[in-house]
Chains A and B, each alone.
Chain A
Amino acid sequence: MTGTTGTTGAALGAPAERREGRQKVTGAARYAAEYTLPGRAHAWPVPAAVARGRVTAVDTAAALALPGVLAVLTPEDAPRLADPEDATLAVLQGPGVPHRGWCVALAVAETPEAARAAARAVRVTYDTAPHDAAFTEHHRDGYAPQEAGGQPGRVEHGDPRAAFAGADVRVDVTYRVPPLHNHPMEPHASTAHWDGDRLTVYTSSQGGTTVRSTLAQLFRLPEEHVTVVAEHVGGGFGSKGTPRPDVVLAAMAARHTGRPVTLAYARRHLPTVVGHRAPTVQRLRLGAGHDGRLTALLHETTSPTSRVKEFVEYAAVVSRVMYAAPNLLSAHRVVPLDVPTPSWMRAPGEAPGMYALESALDELADVLGLDPVELRARNEPAEEPGSGKPFSSRHVVDCLREGARRFGWEDRDPRPGVRREGSWLLGTGVAAATYPVQAAPSTAGAQALPDGTFVVRINAADIGTGARTVLAQVAADALGVPLDRVRTEVGRSDLPPAPLAGGSSGTASWGWAVHEACAELASRLAAHTGPLPAEGIETRADTTGKADADSPWARHAFGAHFAEVAVDTVTGEIRARRLLGVYAAGRILNARTARSQFTGAMIMGLGMALTEGSTLDPAFGDFPEADLASYHVPVHADVPDVEAHWIDEDDPHLNPMGSKGIGEIGIVGTAAAVGNAVHHATGIRFRELPLTPDRILAGLLSES
């Protein structure tokens, strides 16, 4: 952007272009593995080849004899770390192997190729123990966790079982979601460099502040001795929300060898070491009157976790938000197994939970002979069912009605399995969406310079979402200056500390602090007379106590998804023809980048519905689908027509920008809309994702 032609006070909401777009498409943007520090070496992990046991010996002789090999770190000789809070980071600290793929040695060499060859030449001997990697919902080791996604693991109101048993109309169904993998375009990577007892890491992370505090704790350093740079990040989808082993291993290898070291995971490493969405088995019991009003809602979900740490895929939490049901059960079970540790993946909990809930609701609409949009409207709660709090704003029915209007829903023939086009069966489906509004305390700095420009500084992470751009928009409006007078600096730990890009909370958290710093700067400037000093004028804001204050309001974004699909009766292949989403997410701060986030998440939801999924192989304890040829994210040919719209909301109970998060809601409910459309097309309920040809064809054949 050049010139100063922008009008003041109009930056927020404008479709401002991504500021680093040119750097990215020209290759000038540098990612973590691209910091070619002098003398840099490369590390390559040796993954455990057994699902459970102990390393009894690591023979490094053959590896060390290879040309260019500098070192092989083993559980015996790797630097000792302080005990991490996150046990997945306790790498090379002992002989235990908790799952296949766990790092049991680390080769360091002059080139990535030499490091890979060395890693392969390391001979590891194990004392193998029997393992259990077979997940079933009735597994005897299953237990009810205290917490699920920071909320109680179980919420029960009224007498849900009795109410269900006595309901006029009942739906009792079980839905299954497979393991899903984040697979950001840039695999996790870190470059680490020690200068005495000062550590600098360039890392691919959604939150550099946590990387810094974690490394300081692990390596017993004062935080100010750790510098974390994450200037450009090629996607994360939750898998880079907290530090993963790459940054710890790179720092260990750099300390061990005295050289800067890069560890860039290969695509195949990701499924076992960076987290994944745990599979879920979800039983939904819906009881309703003939008028469609829910009398009982029981949502019970079971998912596996590893023995390294407990992670609960909190799929039943959405049932505490969505519908008025006087008798409610929302409960989780978790089964610890000898498997890789699951973690956050875009809309953890909400994405699989709303797939099951919104599919079950469609089944209820079917049983009642009621339009699914109308059924949802009839079950609008007056306050949040789980908490009893009033909603700060809730426009889910408006989203459904607006989506229905845009999609052409009113012309829909509700009968399933009756629309044919050659060998194709056609259908449409709808589902609602929800995602909580979250924010965390942040600091930010703002500076006015004598040349009339401004700099905003904050250790935010731009993981491809456009954070730099939208924070400049927040600043410009708070300062009352044109957008192109504001520069944003993000992604470095010498900037004011800020929370992670996760939970759809980044812009709210960071924007809040930026707004406050800029508002204060504006009033300081208003009081200032004469030219600015050479160093300009600086302000700093800290939203602690505000962003994390308890709210009397239940705050959530809502949305609606509509899908049209065609199902080929010859092959069982499904093609989505249209996806349409309408969102009510407070004020939309950048129309361009917001649309990109919405449609991107809808495509991810399409993948969840139709193509994505891996198999936890009980014999080996990992996922055979370890590359992008076998783990099927949608390709262009799968994505014909995707539209995202939004309803303007004016919600005064959020943050100074009036925004709700938008990074995740697009994936929530998309799979249900697609699945409901497949039922409308075929007349068959498929209750296990993904909806691949094998399953569809088997269903079609058993019907005919």
Chain B
Amino acid sequence: MDALGYVRPGSVQEAVEAYAAHPGARYLAGGTNLVDLLKLGVEKPTTLIDLGRLPLDGTEELPDGSLRVGATVRNSDLAADPRVRTRWPALSQALLAGASAQLRNAATTGGNLLQRTRCPYFQDLDKPCNKREPGSGCGARDGVHRDHAVLGHSAQCIATNPSDMAVALAALDAQVELYGPDGPRRLPAAEFHRLPGEHPERDTWIRPGELITGIVLPAATAGLPSAYRKARDRASYAFALASVAVVLRVGDGVVAQVGIAYGGLAHRPWRARHTELALQGAAATPAAFEGAVALELAHAEPLRDNAYKVSLARNLALDVLNRLAPAPAPA
């Protein structure tokens, strides 16, 4: 590993200042992905700004019924939080579906949102990758891409975002709180990650030097039925082949509120807006779900070896929607 600097600020302001003062710096939280990338030589920061001492490890209920989660709250703690488990169960389920217990004990909320793709070409310095080295090409497109994107990919990049947590946050209409040189701002979790387009090197809309300070789980989805389901190559400790997070409110047999996001299909958690629009106000029936889910997945552009993801995503979404929908009243 090349020599690198290390600073440990005590406040968010100090952290942002340290970033400005150290060109080429990276923020370090749980390190479960960044340290791997340092070892691989994919990330080559000059300085690590350790966020471990920042006062961002708390969770607080806000007056409007939302829940603010600090950026350095550990994944395992967030998954176990009784407020999350009861009011936003999809988030707890998504967290527990990710990684391993050891990794969840180290990984943080903010870091989880900023983890990089696990595309093997991205991780191998001896192979082309437009995300790692813009303009070098994409090894995966004609290579081994069973795990890669079917929605929203570009000629430059077909990588997927690996996070489970981010999928639940997108479906639950969570917000990401940021702090940077220009002060604080918020972004919807569903809009936080980018599609690759011409700039696959940029995973998110975060600005240089900005720091994730927390996420907010909104009152609007609190207490609603929600669930996360993931399909993977082994029973635990594997990234999603496809996954889905659904929040669904049904009144009088009609969909009153719905949020659906897919994981494993795209460069970002894929909010299924076409499906949601079709379902809003529609009868909460298996047939309606099936039609609405198909509307979204009609946009899929599978590659040579990953067409299965479209069927898999459809099955997952229908399974969760039908499970969350209240059983129809007996005739």
A residues apposed to B, CB below 8 Å: 47, 49, 66-67, 100, 113, 116-117, 120, 268, 423, 570-573, 575, 610-611, 615, 617, 619-620, 624-627, 629-630, 632, 634-638, 690, 692-695, 697-698, 701
**Minimum C-beta distance from A114 to chain B (A):** 8
Kindly state whether residue B308 has any CB partner on chain A within 8 Å.
Answer: yes
Q: Is the CB of A573 within 8 A of B1?
A: no
Which of chain A's residues have a CB closer than 8 A to the CB of B126?
A: 47, 49, 100
Given known contacts A575-B235, A624-B120, A694 and B1 CB-to-CB distance under 8 angstroms: no
Kindly state whether residue B182 has any CB partner on chain A within 8 Å.
Answer: no
Residue of A nearest to B306 (CB): A694
Q: Is the CB of B233 within 8 A of A692?
A: yes
Which of chain A's residues have a CB closer than 8 A to the CB of B297?
A: none
Which of chain A's residues have a CB closer than 8 A to the CB of B231?
A: 570-573, 693
Kindly state whether residue B146 has any CB partner on chain A within 8 Å.
Answer: yes
Which of chain A's residues have a CB closer than 8 A to the CB of B3?
A: 67
Kindly state whether residue B11 has any CB partner on chain A within 8 Å.
Answer: no
Given known contacts A571-B231, A575-B235, A619 and B311 CB-to-CB distance under 8 angstroms: no
Which of chain B's residues have a CB closer than 8 A to the CB of A117?
A: 1-2
Q: Is the CB of B308 within 8 A of A625?
A: no
Which of chain A's residues have a CB closer than 8 A to the CB of B123?
A: 627
Q: Is the CB of B143 within 8 A of A693?
A: no
Overall SS of chain B's interface? loop
B117-136 near A? 1/0 per residue, CB < 8 Å: 01011011111000000000
**Can you name 13 A-B pairs with beta carbons within 8 Å?**
A116-B39, A120-B41, A572-B308, A617-B144, A620-B139, A624-B143, A630-B118, A632-B234, A632-B238, A635-B236, A693-B308, A697-B315, A698-B311
Which of chain A's residues have a CB closer than 8 A to the CB of B124?
A: 624, 626
B: number of interface residues (CB 8 Å): 38
Residue of A nearest to B2 (CB): A117
**Minimum C-beta distance from B29 to chain A (A):** 19
B residues 230-247 touching A (CB-CB < 8 Å):
231-239, 241
**Minimum C-beta distance from B61 to chain A (A):** 34
B13-40 near A? 1/0 per residue, CB < 8 Å: 0000000000000000000000000011
Kindly state whether residue B60 has any CB partner on chain A within 8 Å.
Answer: no
The docked-state distance in angstroms from the alpha carbon of A365 to that of B309 is 34
**Minimum C-beta distance from A566 to chain B (A):** 11
**Minimum C-beta distance from B319 to chain A (A):** 5
Which of chain A's residues have a CB closer than 8 A to the CB of B222?
A: none
Q: Which of A570, A620, A629, A635 sits near B316, CB closer than 8 Å?
A: A570
Which of chain B's residues have a CB closer than 8 A to the CB of A619?
A: 139, 142-143
Kindly state whether residue B187 has any CB partner on chain A within 8 Å.
Answer: no
Which of chain B's residues have a CB closer than 8 A to the CB of A100?
A: 126
B residues 87-119 touching A (CB-CB < 8 Å):
100, 118
Given known contacts A624-B121, A626-B120, A634 and B316 CB-to-CB distance under 8 angstroms: no
Q: Which of A67, A571, A620, A634 sits near B312, CB closer than 8 Å?
A: A571
Which of chain A's residues have a CB closer than 8 A to the CB of B139?
A: 617, 619-620
Q: Is the CB of B316 within 8 A of A571?
A: yes
Residue of B nearest to A616 (CB): B144
The docked-state distance in angstroms from the alpha carbon of A462 to that of B144 is 38
**Minimum C-beta distance from A620 to chain B (A):** 6
Residue of A nearest to B118 (CB): A629
Q: Is the CB of B234 within 8 A of A610?
A: yes
Which of chain B's residues have a CB closer than 8 A to the CB of A268?
A: 40
Q: Which of A120, A626, A632 sits near B233, CB closer than 8 Å?
A: A632
**Minimum C-beta distance from A382 to chain B (A):** 43
